[in-house]
Amino acid sequence: MIELKSAEEIELMAVTGQFVGELLAELSNVAAVGVNLMDLEHHARRRIAERGAESCYWDYAPSFGRGPFRNVLCLSVNDAVLHGLPHDYVLRDGDLLSIDMAVGIDGWVADSALSVIVGTPDPADLRLIEATEVALEAAVTAAQPGGRLGDISAAIGEVAHSYGYRVNAEFGGHGIGRTMHEAPHVANSGRPRRGLKLEPGLTIAIEPWLCHSTDKIRYDRDGWTIRSADGSRTAHSEHTVAVTASGPRVLTRRPAHDTGSAGPAAKSANAS
């Protein structure tokens, strides 16, 4: 069942979305060469507790994971793209880090992700990140009242293909609101003018992710971490978006990071 949210409920989701956007921006500034992934995890735990927010990841136990998740972030490095477990790893020059986070405040949830490079960027990695960001913005633009869910999926697929990347359709976006994962599934490729009609009040997480040279994935033995099958680098961008009568509204817009296209995806180790 798809629950359309009232204007008041979308405002409450926007409060959560603002916090998620701010914390992601903060984490992307903390991430630098020499920083341990666990430092990022502990930073996020502290900020979430201070805000009185609740992590949607903590104790999350879907069918595919091994045991309940005991972290508030997914941190996926290089060939890891989704559900990476924070662990004792010190970031190295040129690492491509994806940070994904979902929290609830007063019962309303927002979910967002970004990818950054720490230290010296490889142009191919910048291009990969750019493709996910451009695909995300195209998908947001397609989230118009009166449109169809397939318009969003098609927009992602079109951008990915225009960059020369293939799309894996096993994992994609999702409805969101009272919980992290609600109906409908938002596929990362599809046909325009097909599928669910987009109505004001629909709230969805849109999340293109790409692997440099494959659309195949493999799982780590932890049952969580998803990597590109060929070990090539990966990127992931996600926003929580509301369809409103006046058009799409991004609820997790970040203070500085998100310019829509290229953006400052690369950051220097000396920046923070």
Q: Contact positions toward Mg ion, by CB under 5 A?
A: 100, 111, 113, 205, 238
* Cβ 189 vs Cβ 167: under 8 Å: yes
Is residue 48 classed as helix, strand or coil in its secondary structure?
helix
From the CB of 180, what's the least distance to Mg ion, in Å? 7
Report the residue number, 100 or 133, with the smaller CB distance to Mg ion: 100
Q: Distance between alpha carbon 69 and the CA centroid of its chain, in Å?
A: 17
User: Of the two residues 82 and 121, which places its CB atom closer to Mg ion in the complex?
Assistant: 82
Instruction: Kindly state the smallest distance separating residue 172's Cβ from Mg ion, in Å.
Output: 9
CA–CA distance, 57 with 102 (Å, rounded to integer): 7
Q: To the nearest whole angstrom, how small is the minimum distance from the Cβ of residue 236 to Mg ion?
A: 8
Residue closer to Mg ion (CB basis): 121 or 236:
236
Closest CB 42 distance from Mg ion, rounded Å: 20
Token digits for 107? 């019962």
Rounded Cα distance between 111 and 105, Å, is: 12
**Complex with Mg ion: residue 68 or 146, whichever CB lies closer:** 68
Task: Write the CB contacts of 215 (distance below 8 Å, at least 6 apart in sequence).
Answer: 166, 167, 168
